[in-house]
Chains A and B, each alone.
Chain A
Amino acid sequence: MSDRRKYPDLVAQKDALSLYFDALLREEAQLEPEWAEPTVEIVPQLPVLAPPVLQTLQMPEPELATAVSQEDGPPAWADSNFQALLFKVGGLTLAVPLIELSGIQEWHGEQVTPMPGRISWYLGLMQYRGRSVPVIDTAELVLPTDRLQRLEAAATRLNRVVFIDDGRWGLACDEVAEVISLEPEQVRWRSNRTKRGWLAGTVIEQMCAIIDPPAFARMLATGMADDAEDETTDA
């Protein structure tokens, strides 16, 4: 590990990013070595923006259903350069790959019909392309509880709705920012997405988290979000 000492700054930078996203996406009590572990070994070989792709190639082929394998390592659209739209939710920048983006609309609270239920992040149904589409409060879903307490009320915070999964889901957000071009190597892909499967990877330059829209949609439909599990105890 002597090589590692030659790049103390790079290691620190990566650790800093991990800490940044840990703070954004996790309860302190839930800290796991999900992010940090693979990079420590890769850093000496590829000091700059080491792609964990190398690691995933060494992993045994998953034998199970495609749904499982889809959530391990980079998604198919990340084979070559891709563009992604940045959008912001409660201080966190998320990126959705353009190929998986269905559209964007302005948020108008009065055009969203709340549906009965106990899920705090489900805002209601909104008309989009002639059908009723569920819109969710992305920040409520992805941010940990301690950050939610500092979140502004939805009425003043939400401005846009980003549609994914062929227009079947709307992700309400604070603002939509620019479109960026990314090389797969610029992204730290997550190799093992057993938890927070919607999170495909992170980008240091933009300090953003790339979502995997199909995995996100699956989570919305099944309620497999970490935080959502608490919501159903009162059934």
Chain B
Amino acid sequence: MEEKQSNANDPVSEWVTFYLAEEKYGINVMLVREVLKNTEIAPVPGSPRFVLGIINLRGNVVTVVDTRTRFGLPSKEEDDNSRIVVIEMGEHVLGMMVDSVAEVMTLRQSEIEFAPNVGNDDSAKYIQGVSNQENELVILVALDSLFTQDELLKGVSAH
């Protein structure tokens, strides 16, 4: 793939891509702090359904969410490929459990399509856009709509 140069008319952005149920998703690299594997998750009683539990990240407690559940996809047992993508949104740090992490992808603005709204399903608002890359559609996640402020606070205060 040729190097994608940024220019004023068509800026480029970088996306960490991961898989959920055989589909490729991307989140803006600027929001990703790190990617973890084989991390023990402590369940939190009474937490929302999409919260798997908490992890200890170098002395800091971080809530881990089941991204599949959040997207309305069937849950899956963790395996060797499972990863926790740690994201930072403002003052909140969250872990997102994904099936596997793929790569960092550079996309031109012109390569990102608007994802049409279908029905009045809440899940649609989590999608920022899509990009067709080598016959594979990458679904770009709008992290700021994925979790409401209220949910972030609940998730964080669950422990």
A binding-site residues for B, Cβ under 8 Å: 113-119, 122, 125, 127, 131-134, 136, 168, 220-225, 228, 231-232, 235
Residue B30 at the A interface, CB < 8 A?
no
**Interchain nearest-CB distance for A222 vs B (Å):** 6
Chain B minimum-CB-distance residue to A234: B72
Contact with A along B102-122 (1 / 0, CB 8 A): 000000000001011111111
**Interchain nearest-CB distance for A170 vs B (Å):** 11
CA distance A232 to B27 in the complex (A): 25
Cβ contacts under 8 Å, B158 to chain A: none
B72 with A118: CB separation less than 8 A: yes
Cβ contacts under 8 Å, A235 to chain B: 122
Chain A minimum-CB-distance residue to B120: A223
Cβ contacts under 8 Å, A228 to chain B: 119-120
Interface size for chain B: under 10, 10 to 19, 20 to 34, or 35 or more residues?
20 to 34
Residue B94 at the A interface, CB < 8 A?
no
What DSSP secondary structure best describes chain A's contact surface? mixed
Given contacts A220-B118, A223-B118, contact A117 B123 (CB under 8 A): yes
Other A-B contacts than A118-B122, A119-B118, 14 sampled, CB-CB below 8 A, are A113-B23, A114-B21, A115-B115, A115-B124, A117-B71, A125-B115, A132-B132, A136-B118, A221-B119, A222-B119, A223-B119, A228-B120, A231-B119, A231-B121
Cβ contacts under 8 Å, B122 to chain A: 117-118, 232, 235
Which of A115, A221, A222 contacts B139 (CB under 8 A)?
A115
Cβ contacts under 8 Å, B72 to chain A: 116-118
Residue B126 at the A interface, CB < 8 A?
yes
A221 with B116: CB separation less than 8 A: yes
Cβ contacts under 8 Å, A122 to chain B: 118-119, 121
Cβ contacts under 8 Å, A224 to chain B: 120
Cβ contacts under 8 Å, B130 to chain A: 113, 125, 132
**Interchain nearest-CB distance for A212 vs B (Å):** 18
Cβ contacts under 8 Å, A223 to chain B: 118-121
Which of B21, B115, B120, B124 contacts A132 (CB under 8 A)?
B115
**Interchain nearest-CB distance for B44 vs A (Å):** 21
